[in-house]
Chain A
């Protein structure tokens, strides 16, 4: 929705020369109206992380006309997440061939918020060369990191092979994540996925455990197919 070009100060990182980064809010939940003139935050994007610090330090992410990109400093930190996604996209745009390596470096050394932002960003780049880092995020036991790739994100349905996709769907049951949040699920259902869901349900029933409603929801698609 906002297509401001970004220039990141050269002294912070050589990755970010003349970056063109378009902010798409479809998957971030927070619109860029949160970018205001008040309470500047220091946005730092480099290969060490996606940082947002409280007001005080000088912002280093700037619009091309050298206006500082300022993000609302709200106590809930609602603007932090989209800002990080924006920065991750800037890193990709700065050096597309190195994008997968740079994003993976961000992921590996990232805290939970950064890892979730990297995962969310992948949904916006739609490029299979990022599959490795996407699958790593899928293996995370940190629920918000897992959900950032598995939920409301088109990347897995578009680029995961059958096995990783099935594993991801089964993992939503383990986390209690709603199946309806998996994008492109209907298009990716296979006999193998239904078999895995049935086996999972049978195993739970065999030990007297509750079968999550979402398992039934998935199996209902089999009849519909």
Chain B
């Protein structure tokens, strides 16, 4: 039997997940999520696709989450993969600021490097500038390949732009890169490293400026990562209040820098009525129609 607690997954691609996942997440105590824009596995090739993607993140997905009592927030941006299409990048960065003012948008992201091309760097720099103007924090992606170099260049760019260090989370950190990231005053994001290793990293680095997320998406991944990591943290001796600090207070503190959420916004999370989720359905599931 799992101990339920109050959890915030600061990086999860819910658009790629099923309602079964929402249900399991709600049962595990996940009350809020942050979904960053991403390439969705299949990079988009025209700006209109981004209009619909962004509109979906501030519209349909937000409603879908609300049916399970989960607050959905999002970060909008042009992913590094898609930034390599330079004419697409120009169009998307032109329309991005229009969407940053919408309900539920609390950050710019994922942005950063994949292959460390000049096109990626250009889109990264421009989006940092857009985020600064919008006074929003940023979620920075780091690639799996050649991570160390990408992190070094990422940190250098943030420094050159005098980007407020506490307004950036560098995601996909390893033990090695987290050190540098935290030393530079940024937040370190851990995801997809396994529950026990992430609990161990939490112990090693402490709760200052650390975020733990699932990064669950369209590939094999686990939307209950934060819950299972919280279990593991308790098992190795973390006090409940410290688990709460990592898994609830920290994400709120980071995204509250947007000025758009605060802890007291979460006091009344309402569940919108929805069709029965199991057994004999009184009606066809909504949204199933074309």
Chain A residues within CB distance 8 Å of chain B: 44, 48-49, 51, 53-54, 75, 108-115, 141-145, 173-176, 204, 208-210, 212
Contact = CB atoms under 8 A, between A and B. Distances in A.
Contacts of B101: 44, 48-49, 51, 53
A199 to B, nearest CB: 14
A142 B59 contact: yes
A109 B99 contact: yes
Nearest to A141: B287
Contacts of A53: 101
A174 B286 contact: yes
A64 B51 CA distance: 35
A174 B280 contact: no
B272 A143 contact: yes
Nearest to B57: A111
Size range of the chain B interface in the assembly: 20 to 34
Closest 9 CB pairs of A and B: A111-B58, A111-B102, A142-B63, A111-B103, A48-B98, A141-B287, A210-B282, A51-B101, A112-B59
Interface string B242-276: 00000000000000000100001000000011000
A176 B287 contact: no
Contacts, number: 63
B62 interface: yes
A108 B283 contact: no
Contacts of B98: 48-49, 109
Given A44-B101, A109-B51, 13 more contacts: A48-B101, A51-B101, A110-B55, A111-B62, A111-B104, A112-B59, A112-B103, A141-B287, A144-B63, A173-B283, A174-B286, A209-B281, A212-B282
A90 to B, nearest CB: 18
Contacts of A109: 51, 55, 98-99
Nearest to B282: A210
B102 A49 contact: yes
Contacts of B286: 141, 174-175
A60 to B, nearest CB: 13
B260 to A, nearest CB: 8
B283 A209 contact: yes
A47 B283 CA distance: 38
Contact of A176 (B51, B58, B273): B273
B237 interface: no
Given A48-B101, A112-B103, A175-B286, A209 B59 contact: no
B280 A208 contact: yes
A56 to B, nearest CB: 8
Nearest to A77: B103
B272 to A, nearest CB: 6
